[in-house]
Structure 1
Amino acid sequence: MFFVTPSISAADTLVFGGCSQLKFTSGSPYEYTVDSIFTSLVNSAMFATYNNFTMPVAATGGSTTQDTVYGLFQCRGDLNNGACNRCVAKAVSQIGTLCFDSTGGVLQLEGCLVKYDNVTFLGEEDKTVVEKKCGPSLSPYSDGLGRRDAVLSYLEAGDGTYKPFRVGGSGNLQGVAQCVGDLDPRECQDCLSDAVGRLKTDCGAAKWGDMYLGKCYVRYSEGRDHSYAGKGKRFRHLFHGGFSFLFLVVYIWVGFA
């Protein structure tokens, strides 16, 4: 077992994105608050790889109720501050277009995650399958399956210390895992264990596999074979917080170096 570092060359590559079907009024205090959240995410990414913000929306028209906007970003653990800031800025720009006038949205790039909503999700464990992809089967004459299981076991167990970002490899088989920073160590471990179990069950003896849950992901690949090799697009819905999110998933070539 040895450590590997994923390539950062495709940090701004789109993995998936989704938007709430609920809309806010253009020019409203809610839009101003979302813009403020976005600005805070980008600015904070210059100094940290994770942060979250909670901002109340100014009540209008004598209303006694008040909305709140919640937002977070997270960069892949190997990105430096400059790369993290550029990735988050790209994600904020894309989610602002993809989710125009939506009260909530999420965007996962290769190097970072951005999410906002008016329903709190901070500190809540979420093991909903958001995206999964499996490659072709490993050669029955190779030892790839054993090495795959060893890498996934390492990513699941770690080295005994709490590490929300983990990388590992065996031979030319490499893997990476990460939890969102608002999870505590127990929740992170629970999420990663679930993702690893689902990868083994759903992808079987595949040469590569991705399992993105709501608050963590686990990925592995053999050599340079990896997912998103096509150029097709598909739409699907994920129900979250009582609202329906419309997801756009784009398959493109990426890989671990």
Structure 2
Amino acid sequence: MGISGAQHHHRHRHSSSPPRISRTPFPLITITLTLLLPAVAGDLCSLVYKGCANQTLSGMQPIAALSSALTARAATAKFYKTTASSAGGGQPLLGLFQCRGDLSSSDCSACVGCVLPMWTSLCGPAAATRIQLNGCYALYQVSGFPQVSGTQMLYKACGSAGGGGGFEVKRDTAFAQLQSGVAGGQGFYATSYASVYAMAQCEGDLSAGDCSECIAQAVQKSEVECGGASSGQVYLDKCYISYSYYANGVPHGGGGGGGGGGGQTEKTVAIVVGGAAGVGFLVICLLFARSVMKKKDDY
């Protein structure tokens, strides 16, 4: 999907005409912001990141129609993709949701119930939107919206402290188990090795081969971007991985999906203004600034 990174709230202007796609290439600019946040692995509806296209739709009806279609399947599926448009026609929207592979049906349905209303509350009538929560994500885009590479990195979060002696060997062994696990074609795999909990998930319609390749890219980016950090998350367009080191052993039930091993997690958001397919994207940091700063002040 043609959205990258995370954004702040901003107002969108409604337009009566279809979104216009800029054909003026923009230089690639990357800005890194660092926020200290407590780990929130247990909260399925906790926001990880959002991506909102600058272009807007002419109305909200197609988004409402798509949300209804996805909600109807949330109780029976962990991944569902469909196309919907408003009753009066107009631009069709392609959308999907996916829940983390270890969630129960009821938890999946609850998470989808959280994420779909965030499309409009966080991005307004954007022509393309992606919202990633701790337990699920949902995205949509107007038909014909420019695509990005399935292995493009959308978001990363790296722990601030190392895991001690031999940690990287343990982490790399867990990563190898992840890659072997997703090669089996399930699209989701979680493992623990020597106090390292790791998890990988691919978009539901990827083939086993494409999933393996995507996870291999995510692992490589994690090793480069997070180095010896004791926890990390790397989200690509079509897959993501997370890992956490627990000095006292992985807790019962694994480490959850948040990628935080307790304590504080250093969340790094890449802000990208780029020219993918000739389209300029403005990508800004996480929402909930007030709560973030309050939590930061508490430490």
User: TM-score, with normalisation over the residues of structure 1?
Assistant: 0.80
Opposite residue 15 of structure 1, the aligned amino acid is V
Indicate the residue corresponding to 1:63 in structure 2: none
1:24-65 C-alpha deviation (Å, 9 max, x unpaired): 234xxxx222111111112211100000011245677xxxxx
Which residue is equivalent to 2:226? Answer: 203
- Give the structure 2 partner of residue 90 of structure 1: 114
Q: Name which of 233, 236, 255 aligns with 2:271.
A: 236
For 1:21, what is the secondary structure of its paired residue?
coil
Distance 1:75 1:40, change over 3 A: same
Corresponding letter in the other structure for 2:50:
G
Unaligned runs of 5+ in 2: 1-39, 247-259
Query: Alpha-carbon deviations, 1:44-100, whole Å to 9, x = none?
Result: 11100000011245677xxxxx63210000000011111111101101112220111
- What residue is the counterpart of 1:134 in the other structure? 158
Q: CA deviation at 1:233?
A: 9.3
Q: Structure 1: how far apart are the matches of 2:123 and 2:97?
A: 16
Shift in Å, 1:245: 5.3
Query: 1:32 maps to which residue?
Result: 61
- Please state if 1:249 is matched with 2:286: yes
Paired residue secondary structure (1:77): coil
**1:116 & 1:80 partners in 2: Cα distance?**
24
Structure 1 partner of 2:135: 111
Native 8 Å contact 1:8 1:111 kept in 2:
no
Residues paired across the two proteins, number? 236
Give how far 1:225 is off: 2.4
Per-residue deviation, 1:117: 0.6
**Matched AA of 2:271:** R
User: How far has the Cα of 1:183 moved from its partner?
Assistant: 1.4
Q: Return closer, same or farther for 1:127/1:138 CA change in 2, 3 Å cut-off.
A: same
| Cα distance change of structure 1 residues 226 and 216 upon mapping to structure 2, 3 Å threshold | farther
TM-score by length of 2: 0.70
Match 1:11 to one of 44, 52, 60: 44
Q: State yes or no: 1:43 paired with 2:43.
A: no
Structure-1 residue corresponding to 2:13 = none
CA offset at residue 237 of structure 1?
A: 3.8
Deviations 1:141-198 (A, max 9, x none): x222111010011111217521211101113210111001121212111110000011
Letter in 1 for 2:108: C
RMSD: 3.1
- Contact in 2 for aligned 1:208/1:227 (Cα 8 Å): no
Q: Which has the higher contact order (CA 8 A, sep 6+)?
A: 2
Once residues 145 and 72 of structure 1 are traced to their aligned partners in structure 2, the CA distance between those partners, rounded to angstroms, is 35
Note if contact 2:157-2:268 (Cα within 8 Å) is conserved in structure 1: no
CA deviations 1:119-143 (Å, max 9, x no partner) are 468x986111101122234254x22
Percent of paired sites with the same residue: 25
1:190 corresponds to which of 213, 217, 232: 213
Unmatched 5+ residue regions in structure 1?
1-6, 61-65
What secondary structure, in the 3-state scheme, does the structure 1 residue paired with 2:43 have?
coil
Give the secondary-structure state (helix, strand or coil) at the position aligned to 1:182.
coil
Contact map agreement 2:51 2:130 (CA 8 A) in 1: yes
Name the structure 2 match of 1:155. Answer: 178
Aligned to 1:53: 82
Instruction: Determine if contact 1:70/1:120 at 8 Å carries over to the other structure.
Output: no
